[in-house]
Structure 1
C-alpha cells in the first residue's frame, strides 16, 4: 500500500504506547511493538495480537535492537514516580542508554525518531505557563532526578545526533495524560483518585491540594504524536503536548467524586519531595506547527477513564 510504513514503538505495551499502536494500525501501517513489560502489560495490546500488521517483541531498550523500520517512537521508560523511583538507576539507564540505542538504530536505517520527553524537564517551574524555550528548574540530586535528568539527557542526545549525524528527530514534551490502559497502581492522581472513588475509600491528596496540573486525554496526545512525526523534516521541536486548562488537585478530586457518585472523603498527606506546585503547558507552538489543540473535555475524558477502571476493578473482584 502506498504510504504504508514500518513503525517501531518502544514501550508499546504501556499506557501511551498501546494507544499509539492502535492509532498507527488504523492508518494501515505495520507496527513493531517492543516492551520489557516492567510497567506495560499484554492486556493493553492483547486485542492487537491477531492483527497481521502487528508484531510484539519482548526486549529492553537498554540493549541494542536490530530491526528494519521507517519510523521510531521512543516511549520506553516508566513515567510515574512510584515506578521510576522503584529502580532509579535502571530508570536513568532506560532514558539514556535506551536513547543511545534507538538513535543508533535510527541512524543505521535512516529512520525518523520521535523521542517522548516530558514536562518534568521543566522541574518545579519558575515560568508559568511553561514554554519550550524555558530551561527549567530541576533538582539534579533529588529522588525525581533519575527521570527528570534522564529525559533531559535523552533530549540532549537527540539534538546532538541531529547536529552531528543529520538524523531526523522530533521531541515531544508530554504533560499529564490520562485515559484507559493507565496502571491502577501507578500513583498518578487521575488513576489514584478514580480507583479510590470507585471503592468509596478516602481520596489521598498530597499537600493542601492547591497545586495545579493540566490533564490531556490520551487520544488527543496520540494525535499530537502522529502530527509531530508528519511535520516537515526541518521541524524538530521540542514541542509541548498537553492541555492548557489548569485544575487544582483538589478540584480534580471533587470532580471525580461527583462523576462516580462516590461516598469518598478527602484526606491530606505531606507533599512529596520536589513535587511541582504548578504545571501547565504553553501550546502555541503545537497549535501553529502541528495544527493541534486538545478536543476532548476533562469531563468527557474522565467519564471514559472511569468506565475503564470500573470494568477493570469488577473483573479483578471476580477473580
Structure 2
C-alpha cells in the first residue's frame, strides 16, 4: 500500500542511542520524520538522546535486536552493535549475536513491511588489508578465530544475510561499509584512537600509541558520515551497496597524536605500547563509488573535526 504522507516517514533506528545513531536521528527529526529509537543501552547512552524526549516525533524503545520486534514503519536503519574494540571484545559472543541475529530480525521485519533497510557494516570486513586503498570489490584479509573476529566476521555474516534476503526475497537493501568515524558524543572510554588521545590530553596524561605509530587510519567526521548514510538511503533501489563511507585522507596514528597535542595545548609525552593482535596496519577507503553514484564526499577536514570534538569533550567533562 502506498503511504499517504510521502514527505513524512515513520523510521526505525536500531542502536539509535549510540554515538552515530543519535546524530542520524537528529538529522531525520530535522527533516520532519517520526523516529523510533530502539536500543538496549549496552553501549548507547540516554544522554545522547535526552534532548529529543520532549519532541512528539521521537519515541525511545528499550529493546535488544537479538529479539524480534513488531512495529509498523516505513524505513529501517540497523546500526545496533558494539563498534569499538573495548566494547565488542568485552562480550564477543553477544557481539556476534547482535550482528547476526539483529540482521535476521530486522530483515524479517523489512520483508514483512516491504520497506527499505540500511545496514551499518564496517571497514573491518577488510581485516588487515593486503589491497590499499580498499575498494568494495576487495574480499578482505580477516582472521576468523582472532580476538576481533566477533565483530569482523559478525559484520561479514550480516552482509551475507542482507544480500541473500535481497536475492531470495526481494528486500530493498542498502549496505554501507563505515570507516573510522569520530565526533561529539563519542564514549570517552571506548578505546578508539581519537577519543583516547583527546581524553588523555585533557586529563594531562601521556598519549599512548600502540606500536610505532606508523600505522595509518582515515578519520571521517560524524556529520559527513551521516550525510553519506542519508544519500545512500535515498539513492536508487538499484544501488544496494556495499558502499564505502569514510574520509580518503590518510594519516599515521603518530601524526594524529601530534595534532591532538597541538589543538589541546597539552604538554605531555607520547608513550608506545605493544600493538594489539590483528590490528590493521593501514586503512583508507576508496570512495569512488559513493562519489559517482550519489555525489558524496566528506567536507570537514581533520583539524576542524578534531576542534569540534575536543570542544565537546571539554564541555562534557
Same fold at TM > 0.5? yes
SS across alignment from 1:8: strand
CA shift, 1:239, in A, is 0.2
Find 1:236's aligned residue among 213, 235, 240.
240
Q: Which residue matches 1:245?
A: 249
- Measure, in 1, the Cα distance between the counterparts of 2:309 and 2:259: 13
Q: Which residue matches 1:226?
A: 230
Q: Does 1:44 align with 2:48?
A: yes
- Measure, in 2, the Cα distance between the counterparts of 1:126 and 1:50: 49
Find 2:205's aligned residue among 192, 196, 201.
201
Q: Which residue matches 1:306?
A: 310
Find 1:115's aligned residue among 113, 116, 119.
119
Find 2:272's aligned residue among 268, 274, 286.
268
- Measure, in 1, the Cα distance between the counterparts of 2:131 and 2:94: 30
Q: Which residue matches 1:277?
A: 281
**RMSD across aligned positions (CA):** 0.6
Q: Does 1:129 align with 2:133?
A: yes
Using a 3 Å threshold, how does the CA distance of structure 1 residues 168 and 46 change in structure 2: closer, same or farther?
A: same
Deviations 1:102-124 (A, max 9, x none): 00000001110100000000000
Q: Does 1:213 align with 2:217?
A: yes
SS across alignment from 1:85: helix
TM-score (normalizing by structure 1)? 0.98
SS across alignment from 2:35: strand
SS across alignment from 2:49: helix
Q: Does 1:6 align with 2:10?
A: yes
Q: Does 1:173 align with 2:173?
A: no
Find 1:29's aligned residue among 21, 33, 38.
33
Query: Which ranges of structure 2 fall in alignment gaps of 5 or more residues?
Result: none
Q: Which aligned runs of 4 or more in structure 1 are off by greater than 3 angstroms?
A: none
CA shift, 1:2, in A, is 4.3
Q: Which residue matches 2:89?
A: 85
Q: Does 1:292 align with 2:292?
A: no
Q: Which residue matches 1:103?
A: 107
- Measure, in 1, the Cα distance between the counterparts of 2:33 and 2:293: 23
Q: Does 1:54 align with 2:58?
A: yes
CA shift, 1:15, in A, is 0.4
CA shift, 1:200, in A, is 1.2
Deviations 1:257-307 (A, max 9, x none): 000000121000000000000000000001011210000011110000000
Q: Does 1:139 align with 2:140?
A: no
Deviations 1:168-207 (A, max 9, x none): 0000000000000100000000000000011111000000
Query: Which ranges of structure 1 fall in alignment gaps of 5 or more residues?
Result: 314-319
